[in-house]
Amino acid sequence: MKQLTLIILAACALIMLVAASELPDWADPASPASSHLSPGFIEQAYEATHTPNMVTAVLADYRSYDTMFETVVVFLAALIIMIILRRTPHRRFCKILPQRPQRKGSDTVLKGAAQMIIPVMQIFALYVLGHGHYSPGGGFQGGVIFGASFILLALCYNLRFTLTRFRERLVLLCCAGGALLYAGIGALCLSLGWNFLGYAALAEILGVSEAMARSHGILAVEVGVGITVMAVMVSIYYDLASGGDMYEGL
Amino acid sequence: MTWDASLLWQFDLLILLMMVICAVAALSLKDLVSCAVVTGAYSFLICLMWTAMLAVDVAFTEAAVGAGISTVLILGTAQYIKRRSKD
Amino acid sequence: MDELFPFIIAKYNYWASLILLFIGLYGMIAKNNLMKKIIGMIIFQTAILLFYVSIGVKQGASVPILFFSEDHQPLLEASAYANPLPHVLMLTAIVVGVGTLGVALAILQKIQRVHGTIEEDEILEDMRQ
């Protein structure tokens, strides 16, 4: 079976390699991928949105629908994991559950390191979120780092200790709240007479020029994305590492 | 002026070679915790690859998500399953 | 042979991503252990991302963040920056990929709970009884 798979995949790989030789050369500035839409984006993104980071401008302004639905998809993934795994411990119908090592006592080095690293991580996450306009970063990266700080807390202390800090209900509220913020900004722009997620509508409320209004709109939706991604990472860790009991993690 | 980020093909080739070795190793090792760690190493190497290809946002996200979250999730699941795989 | 070497060097991003793609695909198809299949899925996803991002590279270009000269004038030349469009699409792909990984691991835990093993042939035997 494995040899047959190997032979068939090697044949497919050979065919694809021969076909790939027809594709344009690497690093060619005149390749078709770089000739149609992207020079327009590169040249007009700054005067339209006042955002030096072109990736953030395209992600949150020109392709904001994609980002909104991606936020919804990642929220849905957290909900699905909760539906599959979450259970109360006295209803076990499993066959073999290997003994998990019990944690005894507390570890001074881990706790001390966590106390020093976690606040710095959270401030760095907020910095990455806020500076998404000017440097590599943005909503996703900041949200993931923020979520990872809570996972670090759960690894160095207890899962139950982390649950007293960031309860499951608040996690789910944050998951939904970020996506709601994103769609809410879109609906606000729609109600003011522009397109859905056309941030130039915010120029009337905020009293700034249209380009600056788009920049502020990008920041607002990035905050929404960051909140959702943070809560989703924490929720996925809570469910997967404890196997649904929420009793003891890694 | 913009700096000339000329791509050294030797550097890229070395990182790609290490990535292929990590990928083959992650699928052939029998201990599942070692597979998780090698997958984390694979994520770090592809993050370097993207920095060499000037995709800094993608490299940032891959470093945070692939090497941070994904490895922890696989390790968190590996405590419930039999640690030694048969193939 | 003289023209073969520049030919290989000129398109080596495609070769690299295809090799990784087929390693991942072999892992997903031929391995018995379900965790190895999931790791094959991770390798497959990163190979696709590598393919797309490598399309957007330009010779002599820089990072897609606008560069300001000393008198605060932006440099608005399209050939001086790498193409930002594939980066945007692949950012979405990475985050959706981690969601998919989470769901796959949750299903793996559930299979372990119900059948007691994660080797594919043992699961099939367990299902027949």
Q: Which site among B28, B54, B56, B83 would you substitute to test the C interface, given the most C Cβ atoms closer than 10 Å to its Cβ?
A: B54
Q: What is the pLDDT of residues A215-243, one digit of tens each?
A: 999 999 999 999 999 999 999 999 998 88
* Region for residue B3 given its phi and psi (left: phi exceeds 0; alpha: psi -120 to 50; beta: otherwise): beta
Q: Nearest by CB to B7, which of A27, A137, A145?
A: A27
* Region for residue A158 given its phi and psi (left: phi exceeds 0; alpha: psi -120 to 50; beta: otherwise): beta
pLDDT score at A235: 95
**Torsion sign (Cα): A64, A70, A75, A79:** positive
CB pair distance less than 8 Å for A52 and C100: no
CB pair distance less than 8 Å for C109 and A42: no
Q: Nearest by CB to C62, which of B23, B24, B54?
A: B54
Would you report the helix, strand and coil content of chain A in percent, each value rounded to 5? 70, 0, 25
C89 pLDDT higher than 80:
yes
CB pair distance less than 8 Å for A5 and C79: no
pLDDT score at B1: 36
pLDDT score at A90: 52
CB pair distance less than 8 Å for A237 and B76: yes
pLDDT tier for residue C92 given thresholds of 50, 70 and 90? very high
When pLDDT is averaged across residues A174-180 and rounded to a whole number, the result is 94
A149 pLDDT higher than 90:
yes
Phi, psi at residue A247, to the nearest 5°? -105, -55
Q: What is the pLDDT of residues B15-47, one digit of tens each?
A: 999 999 999 999 999 999 999 999 999 999 999
The structure tokens 């929420």 sit at A246
C53 pLDDT higher than 80:
yes
Q: Measuring CA to CA, which residue among A144, A145, A174, A179 is closest to residue A67?
A: A179
Q: Which two tokens stand for residue A166?
A: 């960031």
The residue in chain B having the minimum alpha-carbon distance to the alpha carbon of residue A146 is: B64
* Interchain contact B13–A (C-beta under 8 A): no
Distances in Å between the Cα of B75 and the Cα atoms of A156, B71, C114 are 15, 6, 20
* Interchain contact B27–A (C-beta under 8 A): no
d(CA A232, CA A171): 8
Please tell me which of A141-145, A203-207, C80-84 the model is most confident about, judged by mean pLDDT: A141-145
When pLDDT is averaged across residues A120-130 and rounded to a whole number, the result is 95
In C31-83, alpha helices (H)? 34-55
SS (H, E, C) chain B: CCCCCCCCHHHHHHHHHHHHHHHHHHHHCCEHHHHHHHHHHHHHHHHHHHHHCCCHHHHHHHHHHHHHHHHHHHHHHCCCCCCECCC
B3 pLDDT higher than 50:
no
- Which are the contacts of A35, defined by CB distance < 8 A and separation ≥ 6? none
A95 pLDDT higher than 60:
no
Q: How many Cβ pairs closer than 8 A exist between chain A and C?
A: 161
pLDDT score at C2: 65
Q: Which residues in chain B have Cβ-Cβ distances shorter than 8 Å to A155?
A: 72
pLDDT score at A88: 73
pTM of the model: 0.91
Q: Which residues in chain A have Cβ-Cβ distances shorter than 8 Å to B64?
A: 141, 144-145, 148
Q: Nearest by CB to A70, which of C15, C96, C102?
A: C96
* Interchain contact B72–A (C-beta under 8 A): yes
Question: How many CB atoms neighbour CB C98 within 10 A?
Answer: 25
Q: Nearest by CB to A148, which of B56, B64, B80?
A: B64
Q: What is the pLDDT of residues A186-212, one digit of tens each?
A: 999 999 888 888 888 888 888 888 888
pLDDT score at C76: 82
Q: Measuring CA to CA, which residue among A54, A52, A234 is closest to residue A155?
A: A234
SS (H, E, C) chain A: CHHHHHHHHHHHHHHHHHHHCCCCCCCCCCCHHHCCCHHHHHHHHHHHHCCCEHHHHHHHHHCHHHHHHHHHHHHHHHHHHHHHHCCCCCCCCCCCCCCCCCCCCCCHHHHHHHHHHHHHHHHHHHHHHHHHHCCCCCHHHHHHHHHHHHHHHHHHCCHHHHHHHCCHHHHHHHHHHHHHHHHHHHHHHHHCCCCCCCHHHHHHHHCCCHHHHHHHHHHHHHHHHHHHHHHHHHHHHHHHHHCCCCCCCC
Question: How many CB atoms neighbour CB A72 within 10 A?
Answer: 14
Query: In this prediction, what percent of chain A has a pLDDT beyond 70?
Result: 92
Q: Give strand pairing partners of B31.
A: B84
- Which are the contacts of A38, defined by CB distance < 8 A and separation ≥ 6? C56, C78, C83, C84, C85
pLDDT score at A43: 85
Phi, psi at residue C75, to the nearest 5°? -90, 105
* Angstroms from B34 CA to nearest CA on chain C: 12
Q: Which two tokens stand for residue C96?
A: 């959706």
Strand, coil or helix: A53: strand
pLDDT score at C28: 93
pLDDT score at B7: 57
The residue in chain C having the minimum alpha-carbon distance to the alpha carbon of residue A26 is: C11
pLDDT tier for residue A42 given thresholds of 50, 70 and 90? confident
Instruction: Give kind and range of the element (H or E) at residue C114.
Output: helix C84-115
B73 pLDDT higher than 90:
yes
B2 pLDDT higher than 80:
no
Q: Which residues in chain B have Cβ-Cβ distances shorter than 8 Å to C20?
A: 19-20, 23
A30 pLDDT higher than 80:
no
Q: Give strand pairing partners of A53.
A: C65
Average pLDDT across chain C, whole number: 88
A59 pLDDT higher than 60:
yes
A182 pLDDT higher than 80:
yes
Q: Give strand pairing partners of C119.
A: C33
Question: How many CB atoms neighbour CB C95 within 10 A?
Answer: 25
Q: Are C64 and A55 in contact (CB under 8 A)?
A: yes
Q: Are B59 and B32 in contact (CB under 8 A)?
A: no
The residue in chain C having the minimum alpha-carbon distance to the alpha carbon of residue A86 is: C106
B12 pLDDT higher than 60:
yes
Those chains having 3 or more beta-carbon pairs within 8 angstroms of chain C are A, B
When pLDDT is averaged across residues A67-73 and rounded to a whole number, the result is 94
pLDDT score at A129: 94
* Angstroms from C105 CA to nearest CA on chain A: 8
d(CA C26, CA A173): 41
ipTM: 0.89
pLDDT score at B4: 44
